[in-house]
Structure 1
Amino acid sequence: MKRSEVVPMPRFFDRYINLVDDIELLDGFQKYAPERIFAETEKLLGLGDRVYEPGKWTVKDILQHVIDNERIMAYRALRFSRNDKTPLPGYDEAVLAANTTASHRTVDDLMEEFRELRRSTVTLFRNMDSIMLTRPGNANNTEISPLALGFVILGHPVHHMNIIRERYFPLL
């Protein structure tokens, strides 16, 4: 199913979904693979622990956040695809970010985790049919389908890479 088939378009999450081309979800997992989105490895490594403003996340913190978010979105998609109607809460990204070991890890290590996670995510979505993909659920007081969550998974890292290019790369 394609991005244009995400109906209704969920509020808040549309900012990520709309960063993805109108392509089949499974094709999107290839086009928006972690190593393609974060392909500018030398620049990412060159940033080290620099931030553009005090209190902002480092590139490693951003990578960990993207990984954490994908896990959460995939979990939501699993629940909703299996027709679990239990409303799911939001999550506090600042709390998660404050409780990681990202600062002690390397960009390469984080990217390896991201690639491994993505393989699992693709397997999950590859085994959902159109009925499962379009079953609505409620996450953070927003109606959203597994299909929409799949496109959030693709667009969220794009959003963060755009921020890295705009605000972090000028620090180099």
Structure 2
Amino acid sequence: MKKSDINPMPAYFDRYIHLTDEVELKEALSISAEELNQLPIDQWKAIGNKVYAPGKWTIKDILQHMIDTERIFAYRALCFARGEAARMPSFDEEEYGRNTNANQRTLEDLIDELKINRASFIAMYQSFTDEMLLRNGLSFKGIYSVLAIGFIIAGHQRWHLNVIQERYSGLAN
């Protein structure tokens, strides 16, 4: 199934979904996994724990956020695929960010965890039927489908990698 099969298009998360290609979900997730193999680790090491503005996350914080978000959305996808009718709780990404030790970890460690997490996410999605992908669930941001979550994760990664490229690359000195 492709992103054009998403119905309804979730209003808040569409900014991530629109960053993905119009391909089958399996391919979108495969592309996102491959993008993780192309990360400019040496450049990021040169940036270290610098931020582009006070109060912003480091690159390591962003990677940890991507890991946390993917885990939460994997849970939501599983719940929706299995027919869960309860509203999924929200999470405070800023609070999560304050309660990590991302900046004490290595970039390699965080990237490895992100890759493992993505492989697990893809394996879960390979088990879903088209019927399961089209199941909708209720979250604090409204109704969206298991299919939408797959594209949200691929697009969320691109969103943050774009932010890093646009706002952090000039800090590598």
TM-score > 0.5, shorter chain as reference: yes
5+ residue gaps, structure 2 = none
Name the structure 2 match of 1:97: 97
How far residue 37 of structure 1 moved from its aligned partner, in angstroms, is 7.1
Name the structure 2 match of 1:122: 122
CA distance in 1, matches of 2:34, 2:85: 31
5+ residue gaps, structure 1 = none
- Alpha-carbon contact 1:35-1:115 (below 8 Å) kept: no
1:50-78 CA distances to partner (integer Å, 9 max, x unpaired)? 00011100000000000000001111000
Runs of 4+, deviation exceeding 2 Å: 34-38
Identity across matched positions, percent:
44
In the alignment, does 2:58 pair up with 1:66? no
| Corresponding letter in the other structure for 1:78 | L
- Alpha-carbon contact 2:66-2:157 (below 8 Å) kept: yes
How far residue 141 of structure 1 moved from its aligned partner, in angstroms, is 3.7
Q: How many residues align?
A: 172
CA distance in 1, matches of 2:144, 2:119: 23
Q: Aligned in 2, Cα 1:141/1:155: closer, same or farther, shift over 3 Å?
A: closer
- Alpha-carbon contact 1:89-1:140 (below 8 Å) kept: yes
CA distance in 2, matches of 1:91, 1:23: 29
Question: TM-score scaled to structure 2, two decimals?
Answer: 0.96
How far residue 36 of structure 1 moved from its aligned partner, in angstroms, is 3.5
Q: Aligned in 2, Cα 1:171/1:141: closer, same or farther, shift over 3 Å?
A: closer
Name the structure 1 match of 2:169: 169
CA distance in 2, matches of 1:123, 1:31: 15
| Corresponding letter in the other structure for 2:135 | R
CA distance in 1, matches of 2:37, 2:163: 12
Q: Which moved more, 1:39-48 or 1:122-131?
A: 39-48
Q: What secondary structure sits across from 1:33 in the alignment? A: helix
Q: What RMSD in Å do the two structures reach over aligned CA positions? A: 1.2
| Corresponding letter in the other structure for 1:15 | R
1:1-172 correspondence to structure 2 within 5 Å: 1-33=1-33, 35-36=35-36, 39-172=39-172
Q: Aligned in 2, Cα 1:26/1:3: closer, same or farther, shift over 3 Å?
A: same
